[in-house]
Amino acid sequence: MNAYLPFLMLPVAFGLMFLGVQVAFAMLLTATGFGLLTFGPAVMHQFVEKIDDLASNFVFAAIPLFVFMGAVLEKSGIADRLFEAIHIWTRRLPGGLAIATVLMCVVFAASSGVIGATESVVGLLTIPIMLRYGYDKRLISGVICAGGSLGTIIPPSVVVIVMGPLANVSVGDLMYGMVFPGLLMAGLYLVYVLALCILRPAHGPRIPPDPNDPSFVQKLGITARNLLPPLGMIVAVLGSILGGLASPTEAAAIGCVCAVLLTVVYRRFSWPGLYDSLLKTARVTAMIMAVLLGGTLFTGVFIGGGGINLASSLIREMQLTPWQLLGMVLFILFIAGFFLDWISIVLIFLPIFTPLVTGVGFDPVWFCILFLIMIQTSYLTPPLAPAIFYLRAVAPPEITMRHMYAGMVPFIGLQLVVLSMTLYWPALVTWLPGVAMALR
């Protein structure tokens, strides 16, 4: 019976979560209980070692920096300038407001990598405008939720910073590997919105011409003033990471400085705003690190108790082919996304599945990006669907939960299309890290 104790950890942890115990404490309690059963009091020495490893991992220092960068952008009011700069070029297109919303989400995702901040800011700004012009409420919901969650799959991403050390994979390689799948997903969103609004103009009406519309030269001026500085910040952060000039932690620090400078340049800087940003950073970072601690101890007990070896033995007895194993893993992740948030999925399943999948010959970076795409679907799949709860907090009453759930379906389909393409063409993930390695 003791040999199967590690497998009982998963249902016990899930049971505690469903009873309302917070994720961090559910995993801490499970790890402590099963650790004492398996190792006795000696488990405390293992816990101290795991805590020391977590506290001394400099990669995790990037988490509060990226969160602070997103909080500053959220509080600074830069979003309205970005939207103006993008929308002046898309307003004549079918569904132009929705297209501008997706593009704005891409810029915000590449700026901070914090999901909730992107969706809240973009939703508050764009929902009233789209409602005013008669956009379909399902399209509004889908665009805000799917676009707002792009911070998972577009670098820099807080999710990737957590995943890298857990999977024993370079965060830089993951940043390279997610570039093409992330851009492909955003591109499919744009194509879908444009095609839908061409075929069904009532879903996203064109905005009629206005005598006060800016001229071409004025549009260039607005773009230079409102779009180029944030793009410069993105280049500074991503360019320093992808160019090998800085680690993710150092690049996040550069991003923090750039974000504060942007608020000064746009005359939006205030001490109360800075205080609020610091306070939000402390809260979000404390939450993430608490869950990380619980997850680290949980996986430490699971692996130390022989869970990985037992799982490997069971899979060998099932005589699964490598692709059948990968399909089973992805299906489990998809189902888990209905009930668990991203950090729980990463901490529970990534350390368990990565050795199994890489052990049959799959590339670890490629698997991590597949894992990331499955996390992306978890933002939109009910009943948990965190993206819907972010939207519910900023949406007016006329946008109902029915509109939101209906609006999610096409975008979940598009995410699965990106998953299929990444499965069929692994080079979408592996080519760019290989090129970067060759150039170093």
Domain shared by 49 and 181, yes or no: no
Q: In Å, how far from its chain's centre is CA 300? A: 25
On whether both 129 and 37 belong to a single domain, the answer is: no
Supply the mean pLDDT for the chain: 84
pLDDT value at residue 416: 94
Same domain, 347 and 208: yes
- Are residue 42 and residue 129 in the same domain, yes or no? no
Shared-domain flag, residues 145 and 251? yes
pLDDT at position 1 over 60: no
Quick check: is 278 in a domain?
no
Question: Which residues are CB-neighbours of 27 under 8 A, at least 6 positions away?
Answer: 13, 291, 294, 295, 297, 298, 347, 348
Residue 161 lies in a domain: yes
User: Of 13 and 102, which is predicted with more confidence?
Assistant: 102
Answer whether residue 119 shows pLDDT above 90.
no
Question: For the whole prediction, is pTM greater than 0.75?
Answer: yes
Q: How many residues in total does the chain contain?
A: 440
> What confidence category does residue 116 fall into, taking pLDDT thresholds of 50, 70 and 90?
low
Instruction: Name the percent of the chain in helix, strand, coil, to the closest 5.
Output: 80, 0, 20
Q: Is residue 281, in this structure, part of any structural domain at all?
A: no
pLDDT, tens only, 363-394:
999 999 999 999 888 888 876 677 877 787 77
Together in a domain, 216 and 92: yes
Same domain, 423 and 341: yes
pLDDT at 99: 93
- Structure confidence by residue, pLDDT tens digits, 130-160: 888 889 999 999 999 898 888 888 887 888 8
Q: Would residue 210 count as lying in a domain? A: yes
What average pLDDT does range 341-370 have in this prediction? 87
From CA 104, how far away is CA 85, in angstroms rounded?
A: 10
Tens digit of pLDDT for each residue in 189-233? 999 999 999 999 999 888 877 777 788 888 888 888 888 888 888
Residues in Cβ contact with 200 at an 8 Å cutoff, skipping those fewer than 6 apart: none
Residue 362 lies in a domain: yes
Is the same domain home to 330 and 401? yes
Q: Is 277 within the bounds of a domain? A: no
Give the structural domain span for 29.
Answer: 1-56+292-302
CB 144 within 8 A of CB 119: yes
Supply the pLDDT for residue 321.
85
85 and 128: one domain? yes
Among candidates 159, 148, 158, which has minimal Cα distance to 185?
148
Answer yes or no: is 11 within a domain: yes
Q: Are residues 80 and 183 in the same domain?
A: yes
Sequence letter at residue 417? V
Give pLDDT, residue 326.
92
Closest to 68 (Cα-Cα) out of 111, 102, 106: 111
Q: Is residue 133 domain-shared with residue 244, that is, in the same domain?
A: yes
Domain membership of residue 275 (yes or no) is no
The reported pLDDT for the residue numbered 117 is 63
Quick one: 353 and 382 in the same domain?
Answer: yes
How many domains are there within the chain? 2
The answer, yes or no, to whether residue 10 has pLDDT greater than 90, is no
Residue range 87-97: mean pLDDT, rounded: 87
